[in-house]
Amino acid sequence: MCAAILGLEAVVLFLTGVVSIGMTDLGAARALGLGAGLAVLCVVAAGLLRRRVGYPLGWLVQVVALALGLVIPTMFFLGAVFAALWGAAYFLGRRIDIEKAEREVAEEQWRAEH
C-alpha cells in the first residue's frame, strides 16, 4: 500500500512542479526541477521499501510535500492528504504484518499439537 501511495504522490508532485511555473517566481527550470526531483524521490522511496531506509525516506517525502505548501499554498492540503494516506498505509500495514505473523505461529503450534 505504501508503494502505491508514493507512486500516486510522485505524479502529484511532478505536476505541482509544472503548475508552480505560473504560480511562483521560481522560474521554469527550478519549478520543473523541483517537481521532477520530488517525483524521483517518491519513486526511489517506493523502490527502497524492502530495506530499512525506505520507510524513513517515505516519511521525509511527506514532510517535504507539506513544506512545499510554503511555496504553493495548495500543497498544504494535498500534502496533508498524502501524509494521512501514507500514515494509514504504514500503520495498517504494520498491524496486518503483526497479525499475519501471529497467525502463522498459531498455525504452527496447532500443527505440532495435532
Instruction: Output the DSSP codes for 55-88.
Output: HHHHHHHHHHHHHGGGTSTHHHHHHHHHHHHHHH
CA proximity to 38, closest of 59, 2, 12: 12
* CA triple 70-80-39, angle to 5 deg: 75
Distance CA 48, CA 56 (A): 10
Distance CA 18, CA 29 (A): 10
Mean pLDDT for the stretch of residues 52-65: 95
The whole domain housing 47 covers 2-113
Q: What domain count does the chain have?
A: 1
Per-residue model confidence (pLDDT) at position 4: 95
Q: How high is the mean pLDDT of the chain?
A: 93
- Longest Cα separation, the chain: 71
Mean pLDDT for the stretch of residues 56-70: 95
pLDDT tens string 12-54? 999 999 988 888 888 899 999 999 999 999 999 999 999 999 9
Provide the 3-class DSSP secondary structure of residue 53: coil
pLDDT at 94 over 90: no
